[in-house]
A and B are shown apart, each in its own frame.
Chain A
Amino acid sequence: MRRMNLALCIFLLSCSEAATKDNPCPQGICIAGNGNDGGPGGGGSSGSSGSSGSSGTSGDGGPQVCNPAWTCTAWQKDAQGKSTRTCTDTNKCGTASGKPSEGPLDLPGLDFDYYKCNVEPIFDRGCAMVGCHGTEVGRPFKVYARGRLRHQETVPPAPTCLDTGPQELAKKGTATVMCLGWSKHTAAEWQQNFDNARSFMVGLTNPDDSELLSQPVYQGKAHTGVHLFRKSDADYQTIAKWLSGEKLGRTCDPSPN
């Protein structure tokens, strides 16, 4: 019995080792994101329609075309209360083509509660895959979601896991539903998702013109062949109503999100 206890203690002690890049989860329960920071679709896909928007050049046999892959920081308010951000082309094409707005500007005053309860679930379901808009690199539209991309911030350990002390949410929680990947959205994730989404209405009056709708709608833009809804579908209507300024009229409890 004593030997068994000793063996168990050795096993459990090994669980408290610090995570490393090669062994991101020494205790064998919590999963870490890996250190590979390849772009979206970076692994490629055999026989797949693929989803990469960050390949630097394209064209077979013809002139090489460099496709910018814009990566933007989170929106920040400056001293004048205007929102600004910085966008850089991951592919370094040397062009401003398609560069998202960096401000300073006033983000549209859309309803946060309506977004949390009605719009975010649509994005979580159909957009937030880590090879699509669940990526920090190369996509102006970015969605943090449980089980997909998690924000780079330090958070308390998940109560159901053996980690102790502050944890890196992005490293431990991205692309998994285990432990921190299962944990609720943080305030920063909600705010950045909301700000990022509403920035697609900057300078527009008609929601149909927003890329949030014109890209994923059937018979809309190419969007790598991925089309999620038709104009008559409830999801399209929900996003359109939010972009038009509709309010939820109550405080949203997005639990368990």
Chain B
Amino acid sequence: MQLRLHGILGILGYDDEALSFTASIADANALMARQPFAMVLVDVGLPDGNGIDLIRALHAVDAALPILVISTWSTEQTIVSALQAGATGYMLKERDDFEIGLSIRSVLRGGAPIDPFVAKHILQLIDTGTGKTQQHAPPTLRSPLSKREIEILELVSKGLANLEISDLLSLSRSTVECHIKNIYKKLAVNSRTQAIFEARAHGLLP
């Protein structure tokens, strides 16, 4: 995988000096402590621990850091968890190099990659999520996604690509990408706030 990424990023225009690879979370943490980075790609199948925890830690340190999750198609739950933890986007190993390159480029551009099955999963999450928040009714919890965002998610789950969505909703492509990025952000915030609320409710936090 490392070689592959090396190749892809090379095509994108990064030279070797700009790239750092680690093989374990411990190494990664050590590396992060030494120097700042413009983007991080995390494989959630890391041997010595939960990649998602790493993502959460990285996001806590620097909220603006783009984090990309490397995953396989069968772990959509992992992808969404990673997004909730603060990842900016994801890529699937099964895809073509070309497609992976597209994902990375879109993240660098400021957008976010998305797939129909991820969109469906998020929609399901919101359905159950709103149910839950209504049950607990905490006043400080942020509202779920806006109507526009839900609309976009539904169109993605039907198979439309960003261009088609932007045509259909009379928005620009970058606006659509921005929306998707916001959706991910809200997911992360939502989950964090929810976690804090839950922790408070259970007396784990003051």
Q: Real complex partners, A and B?
A: no
Residues of B whose CB lies within 8 Å of any CB of A are none
Residues of A whose CB lies within 8 Å of any CB of B are none
